[in-house]
Amino acid sequence: MPSKAYIDNVMNLIIQRNPREYEFHQAVKEVLESLKPALDRHPQYLENCLLERFTEPERVIMFRVPWIDDHGKIQVNRGFRVEFNSAIGPYKGGLRFHPSVNLGIMKFLGFEQILKNALTTLYMGGAKGGSDFDPKGKSDREVMHFCQSFMLELYRHIGPATDVPAGDIGVGAREIGFLFGQYKRITNEFNGAITGKSLNWGGSFLRPEATGYGCVYFAREMLKTRNEIFEGKVCTVSGSGNVAQFTVEKLLQLGARVPTLSDSNGTIYDPDGINQEKLIWVKDLKNKRRGRIREYIQKFPKAEYYEGKRPWDIPCQCAFPSATENEISEEDARTLLKNGCYLVAEGSNMPSTPGAVKIFLDNKILYGPGKAANAGGVAVSGLEMAQNAQFIHWSAGYVDTKLQDLMKEIHDNSYRTAQEYGYQGNLVVGANIAGFIKVANAMLELGLV
């Protein structure tokens, strides 16, 4: 059977078997279509039904999470862990707490995570989990009660050599603390079953910074292919959470100008640019006071706030989506290009719709897909696992050097692979094929399991 027909058959099967899981369909379709050159060249994948096996999670766990709010009322949320693929290492991937969380979103994120983790060069399989619990507006006590109830089920499925969760949207330092505290209490073990831990109790230097810093390091490699640097470039950033904050921080260190941030309510535009001092204020607003980004204009009145808008119509040379999936529409992509943008590096997972990706690729701009550009977070999580296994910690400088080396390797591997398969400069094809071949070969070697 020709590769194209094989891909179409598998895609139809996935849509039939996973009805209404639209984000999962979207993520799988993008990957499978870009694997055609690899399937043409390596018939053993088709002969061994690798696509059917690769797109079916090894295990899906769904569970009830009951807890009591501050008014004494019983609340019930749904918990998930999708253990997608463990061919090259223990399952690894973040936990997301957001009201939009459903099985399709968990599966899309777990699926992307397999390829991302393979690209890091470390030994980690792919997983994702979370809940439709919304930490926004909840007291610390409510968040703790929820996390403890969530872990009361999750603990039996995870472990340092089995499955190692970390943070994602809505799961930051506070939530990781409550989750690990409960894990430790139930299992009576202090180990590396969760990453993103605080430095006080087993965390790695630079884990909070890793996704944002790593994304900028990746984009620096993209710019290098055109002999350019960040100095003086205008870079728009969306979101204002973990990834956005540290993306801005590294961009400022490299001499770029950053005029935007956003949250799910709207976007701020600061014509003077966000500087380190303003960024410290934003970190306090978002991480401690848990406020909204519109408060920025009260503190810095020269800035403007656009309710309900994303930052993509602000002119820039480089764009760093760092909020959520499908946050760049086809129309946004056209606007970005019209205004002179020629680099998009994805801090968030699948932020560009298929139409937007097509526009970026057709116009041959520098486009770094999330699974490659935002792999720095899980890469440093892998380094945290290595440190935990040895009961040691490495210095911030050492971890930063390792992160820079890993991001360069992920870029170069994706770039080289794209070239090898006749798609010069197409990092989507390069990242998907490079990640897939590593996992697919491991699956062949491990037998039919």
The residues annotated with a catalytic role in the active site are 128
Question: Strand 260-262 and strand 59-68: pairing?
Answer: unpaired
C-alpha distances out from residue 48 to 276, 360, 443, Å: 53, 34, 10
Q: Is 104 in the site for ligand NDP (CB under 6 A)?
A: no
Distance of alpha carbon 244 from alpha carbon 241, whole angstroms: 5
Q: Is 89 in the site for ligand NDP (CB under 6 A)?
A: no
Region near ligand NDP per CB under 6 A, out of 165-173, 228-236, 332-340, 386-394: 165-173
Which helix (DSSP H) or strand (DSSP E) does residue 129 occupy?
strand 126-131
CB of residue 316 vs ligand NDP: minimum separation in angstroms? 18
Distance of alpha carbon 6 from alpha carbon 2, whole angstroms: 6
Q: Which is nearer to ligand NDP, 148 or 211 (CB)?
A: 211
C-alpha distances out from residue 211 to 31, 74, 207, 414, Å: 22, 36, 8, 18
Q: What is the DSSP code (8-state) at residue 345?
A: E
What are residue 131's DSSP bridge partners?
Answer: 79, 97
Q: Is 214 in the site for ligand NDP (CB under 6 A)?
A: no
Q: Which of 241, 259, 368, 382 binds ligand NDP (CB under 6 A)?
A: 241
Residue pair 69/141 in contact (Cβ under 8 Å)? The answer is no
Whose tokens are 């040691």? That residue is: 392
Q: Is 135 in the site for ligand NDP (CB under 6 A)?
A: no
Q: Is 264 in the site for ligand NDP (CB under 6 A)?
A: yes
Q: Is 167 in the site for ligand NDP (CB under 6 A)?
A: yes
Distance of alpha carbon 353 from alpha carbon 327, whole angstroms: 8
Q: What is the DSSP code (8-state) at residue 58?
A: S
Residue nearest ligand NDP (C-beta atom): 241
Residue pair 131/101 in contact (Cβ under 8 Å)? The answer is yes
Q: Is 18 in the site for ligand NDP (CB under 6 A)?
A: no
CB of residue 435 vs ligand NDP: minimum separation in angstroms? 15
Q: Which is nearer to ligand NDP, 110 or 172 (CB)?
A: 172
Question: Strand 91-97 and strand 59-68: pairing?
Answer: unpaired
Q: Which is nearer to ligand NDP, 23 or 168 (CB)?
A: 168
CB of residue 52 vs ligand NDP: minimum separation in angstroms? 26
Q: Where are the beta strands (DSSP E) in 152-258?
A: 163-166, 235-237
For residue 284 the two structure tokens come to: 């306090």
Region near ligand NDP per CB under 6 A, out of 11-19, 148-156, 248-256, 347-355: 347-355
Q: Which is nearer to ligand NDP, 109 or 343 (CB)?
A: 109
Region near ligand NDP per CB under 6 A, out of 7-15, 342-350, 359-367, 392-400: 342-350
Q: Is the dihedral of CA 412, 414, 420, 425 positive or negative?
A: negative
Whose tokens are 């003086």? That residue is: 232
Q: Which is nearer to ligand NDP, 71 or 289 (CB)?
A: 289
Region near ligand NDP per CB under 6 A, out of 34-42, 85-93, 161-169, 180-188: 161-169
Q: Which of residues 308-337 bind ligand NDP (CB under 6 A)?
A: 322-324
Q: Which is nearer to ligand NDP, 240 or 388 (CB)?
A: 240
Q: Which of 120, 242, 413, 417 binds ligand NDP (CB under 6 A)?
A: 242
Q: Is 195 in the site for ligand NDP (CB under 6 A)?
A: no
Q: Is 263 in the site for ligand NDP (CB under 6 A)?
A: yes
* Max Cα–Cα distance, the chain, nearest Å: 63
CB of residue 59 vs ligand NDP: minimum separation in angstroms? 21
Distance of alpha carbon 44 from alpha carbon 82, whole angstroms: 27
Residue pair 141/105 in contact (Cβ under 8 Å)? The answer is no
Residue pair 150/131 in contact (Cβ under 8 Å)? The answer is yes
Distance of alpha carbon 334 from alpha carbon 269, whole angstroms: 20
CB of residue 212 vs ligand NDP: minimum separation in angstroms? 8
Q: Which is nearer to ligand NDP, 42 or 138 (CB)?
A: 138
Q: Is 267 in the site for ligand NDP (CB under 6 A)?
A: no
Q: Is 372 in the site for ligand NDP (CB under 6 A)?
A: no
Whose tokens are 């978002």? That residue is: 286
Region near ligand NDP per CB under 6 A, out of 52-60, 153-161, 182-190, 259-267: 259-267
Q: Is 384 in the site for ligand NDP (CB under 6 A)?
A: no
Q: Is 369 in the site for ligand NDP (CB under 6 A)?
A: no
Instruction: Provide the phi-psi class of 202: left if phi over 0, else alpha when psi is between -120 and 50, else beta.
Output: left
Binding site for ligand NDP (CB under 6 A): 167-170, 172, 211, 239-244, 263-265, 322-324, 347-349, 374, 377
